Structure 1
Amino acid sequence: MRHLLPLLGLLAACGRNTAPESDLDVVPFVDPERYMGLWYEIAAFPIRSQEDCVGATATYTLKDNGDVEVFNQCFKDTLDGDEKSITGKAWIVDAETNAKLKVQFFWPFAADYWVIDLDDEGYEYAVVGHPNREYLWILNREPQMDEVLYESVLEGITESGYDLAPW
């Protein structure tokens, strides 16, 4: 169990009933090819599987069948700590926007992965949420995010109905 990683906490949501009519908005469109690659976790709601993680990243690779390979990695306690990693898959469930996906690390469990904010010009940052608003990740292409941009992203998250008290 010690190899559980970022986004694995979404599995906890799998056992819950997610209302199909969640009022959480997603971005109008995600280009899967542009979304692929390495993302750095800038901030996330606390989840048990990440309690001792630092330097968390997610790498997405588009497969020929349209699925996405998900490789999550972090380090225990410090950047010099033991590497923790896990590989899973994701698939698009809303072909109109490509912004709603399911992510799976252990069969048969899959969880919602909704892109709720995205730098649609350069795909430099993304915000990933869950329809129940209990899970949230701010991702960036670089290890740090500009402070002004970060504050703007937080404002958008709050406007989306998220309670940022866990931070």
Structure 2
Amino acid sequence: MSNCRPSVLRVSAITLAIGAACLLGACALSPAGKSGNARVPQPAKPVDLTRYVGRWYEMARYENGFERNCEAVTADYAARDDGLIDVTNSCRKGDVNGPPDVSQGRAKIVAGSGDAKLKVSFFGPFYVGNYWVLDHADDYSWSIVGEPSGRFLWILTREARPAANVRQALIERVAALGYDTSMLRTTRHE
């Protein structure tokens, strides 16, 4: 019996460490702001990830802590050989010419979601962030991204500064999805 105790303690310590890491990761991504949509819709259509990868420019977002003071925001997605997706989020702090701030992570596809739902990790091996492609253009020129709580929302485009009629149509589509458009913060680009 005394030989079993150290391994039980090691297993318990490992389990506790993993649980603490998961909790910290969940807290780091836990939305603290108000929800802009109490009834987040399911994604409108499947996503062809071969067409989705590449560079996206953030047109607008719901303000959040991890993008505080960010302008000129871009997101780059690249397919990996192991089926995951590399994610590189970049911004300029304080101004479109401010110092760069880059975070790298990875995403995995949620099975059965038509590739429209992903789990994202920027903090190691635990996939705790939800990334839902709620809608996108047939030609993949724009995308609306959210998650289940309704506290995070991004409007992404392939152009840094889309035309005014495109911007207006995207804001109208966000409203049609049930989001409070008064909470949108426009992202500035050069």
Report the TM-score range of the alignment, normalised by the length of the smaller protein: 0.7 to 0.9
Structure 1: gaps of 5 or more residues: 1-9, 16-21
> How far is the alpha carbon of 1:165 from its aligned partner?
2.7
**2:130 is matched with which residue: 74, 88, 112?**
112
Evaluate the alpha carbon distance shift between residue 117 and residue 11 of structure 1 in structure 2; reply closer, same or farther with a 3 A threshold: farther
2:74 alignment partner in structure 1: 57
**1:44 is matched with which residue: 61, 64, 79?**
61
Look up the equivalent residue of 1:147 and give its one-letter code: A
Q: Which has the larger radius of gyration?
A: 2
Evaluate the alpha carbon distance shift between residue 50 and residue 14 of structure 1 in structure 2; reply closer, same or farther with a 3 A threshold: closer
Asked if 1 retains the 8 angstrom alpha-carbon contact of 2:88 and 2:105, the reply is: yes
1:5 alignment partner in structure 2: none
The correspondence of residues 26-45 of structure 1 with structure 2, limited to 5 A, is 26-45=43-62
State how far apart, in whole Å, the 2-side matches of 1:67 and 1:104 are.
11
State how far apart, in whole Å, the 1-side matches of 2:179 and 2:163 are.
21
Q: Secondary structure at the match of 2:122?
A: strand
- What's the C-alpha RMSD, in Å, of the aligned pairs? 2.0
**2:140 is matched with which residue: 123, 137, 157?**
123
Asked if 1 retains the 8 angstrom alpha-carbon contact of 2:141 and 2:158, the reply is: yes
Asked if 2 retains the 8 angstrom alpha-carbon contact of 1:58 and 1:71, the reply is: yes
State how far apart, in whole Å, the 2-side matches of 1:80 and 1:154 are.
26
Higher strand content, 1 or 2: 1
> How far is the alpha carbon of 1:94 from its aligned partner?
3.5
Structure 2: gaps of 5 or more residues: 1-26, 33-38, 185-190
> How far is the alpha carbon of 1:79 from its aligned partner?
2.5
State how far apart, in whole Å, the 1-side matches of 2:113 and 2:103 are.
29
> How far is the alpha carbon of 1:95 from its aligned partner?
3.7
Look up the equivalent residue of 1:43 and give its one-letter code: A
Look up the equivalent residue of 1:70 and give its one-letter code: V
Higher helix content, 1 or 2: 2
Regions of 4+ moved over 6 Å? none
1:4 alignment partner in structure 2: none
Evaluate the alpha carbon distance shift between residue 11 and residue 164 of structure 1 in structure 2; reply closer, same or farther with a 3 A threshold: farther
The correspondence of residues 15-164 of structure 1 with structure 2, limited to 5 A, is 24-107=41-124, 108=126, 110-120=128-138, 122-164=139-181
Asked if 1 retains the 8 angstrom alpha-carbon contact of 2:87 and 2:105, the reply is: yes
Q: TM-score, normalised by structure 1?
A: 0.83
Q: TM-score, normalised by structure 2?
A: 0.73
Among the aligned pairs, what percent are the same residue?
33
CA offset digits 1:103-125 (Å, max 9, x no partner): 110133521100011011x2111
